[in-house]
Chains A and B, each alone.
Chain A
């Protein structure tokens, strides 16, 4: 370091150019960069969901009053969640499918906790529209935006959507009460 300093200290020069390798300048620059980086984080993190939003991220739903064959839409994290009380016929339709031939292969058993209850996020996996219930060729959902059709397990069967309707985290608190999130 001292060598560098002496070689750069040219006598009679009004404007000596400091050598970039000089440890001092490097250290100063590095510390300043670390500070700028540390300061940047709060300004990025502030756009993440805030504490009041996170506190709402689970919703309890009483499903006891939903008659068989009906779909109830609840709001969870600002999005619709479909809770479908499936009929025997609908369950059979969902189970008796050659899983291997599906665009997004997944057995019905992997998508439900109890066969009569299907819980999916009501957002088409294509571009985010809300599909209509009890419609389309597979008796599940039909998305009016671009024609994606889902079956009674919420799986994509035809149309541009790439994946099945997403199953959110949920749990049965009691046989008639679920907690989404």
Chain B
């Protein structure tokens, strides 16, 4: 009895402890992350043929208290709008999302004005033809190409993927036992997709990367990329320093653009992330209290039953 109740108590306490320290642990992990990466990267490259893993970045939305950096999402939107959206669609993104809580939170007036700059096609109930009209906040982000065939035609045969949930649709494999750590409270790592996208943006190389096969060559339109599986990417280098104007003094570098647009894509993929983490924290605290009470109740009920 003692042993079992002790072990259960330990489990409950462990979860409680894990929760409370996870914030601290995250901070520690963040502090350690860049150093760890720098140490790890050469080691992997030294291993020869294995492709380097995307470096781990410090994201405001990581961890149990994670929330989006509104200014970063607004900058990311700028990069998305001026660069990415020329070739990539984001069909699930509605203009209205841009003013919803937990996102870039532009004002409703800003979103309305923004939407009006875009045209959407709609069946006219007057003429019966498909006609263009200015977009409204309830409309979705217009795709740059009418369909896949047109998109491939304009991009040398390559299809720029839809960006709506791209940050969740991309990942990279971590070897045993590291993938287990990614699930644990305090260590949890769920930002594979954003780190991957950032790495791709930063991963363009003029020279053939070390890991690539010696006889590998680029086809027309391809570029070398350190982090793209197989090292070859069909997308030309999309970002260059200064290409997008930032008005808030944030450095106009490829790395900064990459991070900002990745954060923006994380938001388009998971717009309810803040609400999710807040609700989750409440749920866990509630369950902790309930479990404690249930444990005390159970203990009292069983107090004079030898078992």
Chain A interfacial positions (CB closer than 8 Å to B): 5, 9, 13-16, 18, 22, 24-25, 27-28, 31-32, 34-35, 38, 51-52, 55-56
Minimum CB distance partner of A42 in chain B: B279
C-alpha spacing A77/B300, complex, angstroms: 57
Chain B nearest Cβ from A21, distance in angstroms = 13
- Interface of A: prevailing SS: helix
Minimum CB distance partner of B97 in chain A: A51
Given contacts A5-B300, A9-B303, A55-B94, contact A28 B137 (CB under 8 A): no
Q: Which chain B residues in 272-307 approach chain A with CB under 8 Å?
A: 286-287, 289-290, 293-294, 296-297, 300-301, 303-305
- In the complex, how many residues of chain B place their beta carbon closer than 8 angstroms to a beta carbon of chain A? 18
Minimum CB distance partner of B287 in chain A: A35
Does B296 lie within 8 Å of A24, measured CB to CB? yes
Chain A nearest Cβ from B205, distance in angstroms = 42
Chain A nearest Cβ from B112, distance in angstroms = 11
Does B297 lie within 8 Å of A31, measured CB to CB? no
Minimum CB distance partner of B126 in chain A: A65
Chain B interfacial positions (CB closer than 8 Å to A): 94, 96, 100, 137-138, 286-287, 289-290, 293-294, 296-297, 300-301, 303-305
C-alpha spacing A34/B287, complex, angstroms: 11
Does A51 lie within 8 Å of B100, measured CB to CB? yes
Does B296 lie within 8 Å of A9, measured CB to CB? no
Given contacts A9-B303, A16-B304, A31-B290, contact A55 B138 (CB under 8 A): yes
Minimum CB distance partner of B289 in chain A: A31
C-alpha spacing A52/B140, complex, angstroms: 10
Which residues on B sit within 8 Å (CB–CB) of A32? 290
Minimum CB distance partner of A34 in chain B: B286
Q: Looking at B94, B100, B287, B293, which has the most chain A CB atoms within 10 Å of its CB?
A: B293
Minimum CB distance partner of A56 in chain B: B138
Does A13 lie within 8 Å of B304, measured CB to CB? yes
Nearest 10 pairs of A and B residues by beta carbon? A55-B138, A28-B293, A28-B297, A55-B96, A31-B290, A56-B138, A24-B297, A35-B286, A31-B293, A24-B296
